[in-house]
Amino acid sequence: MEKINTEVGFTGLLRYDEPMAGHTTFKVGGPADVWVRPEGEGFPEYAAVLRDTARSEGIPVFILGAGANLVVSDQGIRGIVLDTTAWEGCDFAQGEHAGYDGGNPGRSAVVIRSGTGVDDAVTAVAERNWGGLEFLAGMPGSMGGALWMNARCYEKSISDVLIETEILDESGNRRWVPCKTEDYGYKKSPFQARDMVILSARFALEYRPQGEIRQDMDTNRQDREAKGHYRFPSAGSVFKNNRQFGKPTGKIIDELGLRGLRIGGAEVASWHGNIIINTGNATAGDICALVALVTEKTKAARGIILEPEVLFAGDWQNSNTPPAYQRHLGP
């Protein structure tokens, strides 16, 4: 592991040929040509310089959160992976100074940096008796990834509590972008169509007694535990839900008897149709092939075309099992 110091005054970690399996919750993924994790206050400046330099050299830059929604190809990622997870922390003062809701003492706001772990952010907010983020308790990932995905659970999306987002835009400028409800949808955020870095975001909070907040957080964490979210490496739900299907996607996969279906080390969880697990030695290719097989079987049996929620990232070009469906990721 190499510590680097640059002329833009930041410290961090930089590694060549870094296996991405160590940076994804699925525990799969080949090497990134360059993986860099800036530390300290210089993150935004460093990210701007890195992206600018890389662009002028024609080198792609992939922005990495906690890797909780990714299937990274076995061939890895070409170019540079900018890991955001050391850019973390919650700033309550900034929230209060924003005068959110006309100074109503029962309401406040917090600015959370994008690399902050979702559960860490929820806990930090709860410790100050502020409610609003409890629904996210126990969800893996970073706040930046959750915003990019417009993560959703327990009938709420992260955009429901979002006031504004600070981004590093396409030209390398830091800007605050207000949350416009119409730009967000089910697992859809405006960031998905842009080549920018989410730096931080301001969230609306409301006062709640500590006991109530804790109870909701515990209930959600226990529910995830009971649903087997943490039993094996995975990326949570593999496919999106769709109201037109009339029932949750997991239920449809269950009804087709696909639980336990296996390719290599990847398996449709025996307890949940919409979770694919890495049983120990899965490759990204196994997972990708299993996603394709479940999609094919569901289409044949029900005429339904499932849409993956997980993102296939990296270099799939010479793969035997290229993903049938690939979201735009990075430049």
Ligand X SMILES: Cc1cc2nc3c(=O)[nH]c(=O)nc-3n(C[C@H](O)[C@H](O)[C@H](O)COP(=O)(O)OP(=O)(O)OC[C@H]3O[C@@H](n4cnc5c(N)ncnc54)[C@H](O)[C@@H]3O)c2cc1C
Residues serving a catalytic function are 237, 309
Q: Report the DSSP beta bridge partners of residue 153.
A: 156
Q: How many CA atoms lie within 13 A of 170 on its CB side?
A: 7
Which residues does residue 32 pair with via DSSP β-bridges, in sequence order? 18, 77
Angstrom distances, CA of residue 271 to CA of 141, 200, 256: 22, 36, 14
User: What x-and-dash track marks residues 150-169 binding ligand X by CB under 6 A?
Assistant: -xxx----------------
**Is 140 near ligand X (CB under 6 A)?**
yes
72 binds ligand X (CB under 6 A): no
Tokens of 133: 């983020």
Cβ distance to ligand X smaller for residue 41 or 296: 41
Answer for which of 28, 50, 61, 63 binds ligand X (CB under 6 A) is 63
Q: Which of 125, 213, 261, 311 binds ligand X (CB under 6 A)?
A: 311
Residue 249 touching ligand X (CB under 6 A): no
Cβ 303 to ligand X, closest distance in Å?
26
Which is closer to ligand X, CB of 63 or CB of 108? Answer: 63
Sign, CA dihedral 202-198-82-171, equals negative
Q: Toward ligand X, which CB reaches closer, 108 or 250? A: 250
Rg (CA), the chain: 20
User: Which one of the spans 4-12, 50-58, 62-70, 101-109 is the region binding ligand X (CB under 6 A)?
Assistant: 62-70
Residue 90 main-chain phi, psi, to 5 deg: -120, 135
- Please tell me whether residue 236 binds ligand X under the rule CB under 6 A: yes
| Cα separation, 125 vs 132, whole angstroms | 9
118-127 helix and 210-226 helix, angle to the nearest 10 degrees: 160
Residue among 32, 139, 276, 282 that touches ligand X (CB under 6 A): 139
Q: Is 314 in the site for ligand X (CB under 6 A)?
A: no
Min separation Cβ 158 and ligand X, Å: 8
Residue 264, Cα to own-chain centre: how many angstroms? 26
Q: What are phi and psi of 275, to 5 degrees?
A: -120, 130
CB of 41 to ligand X, least distance (A): 16
Nearer to ligand X, 130 or 135 (CB): 135
Candidates 132, 141, 250, 273; binder of ligand X (CB under 6 A) is 141
Give 58: exposed, middle or buried? Use CB within 10 Å, 0-12, 13-18, 19+: exposed
Among 37, 51, 229, 272, which residue interacts with ligand X (rule: CB under 6 A)?
A: 229
Nearer to ligand X, 149 or 253 (CB): 149
Q: Calculate the dihedral angle through the C-alpha atoms of 9, 12, 15, 18, rounding to the nearest 10 degrees.
A: -140
Cα–Cα distances in angstroms (integers) from residue 96 to residues 108, 127, 198, in the given order: 6, 16, 21
Q: Which stretch binds ligand X (CB under 6 A): 97-105, 145-153, 213-221, 290-298?
A: 145-153
Q: Which of 146, 238, 276, 282 binds ligand X (CB under 6 A)?
A: 146
Q: Which residues bind ligand X (CB under 6 A)?
A: 25, 63-70, 84, 114, 139-142, 144-146, 148-149, 151-153, 191, 197-198, 229, 234-236, 311, 329
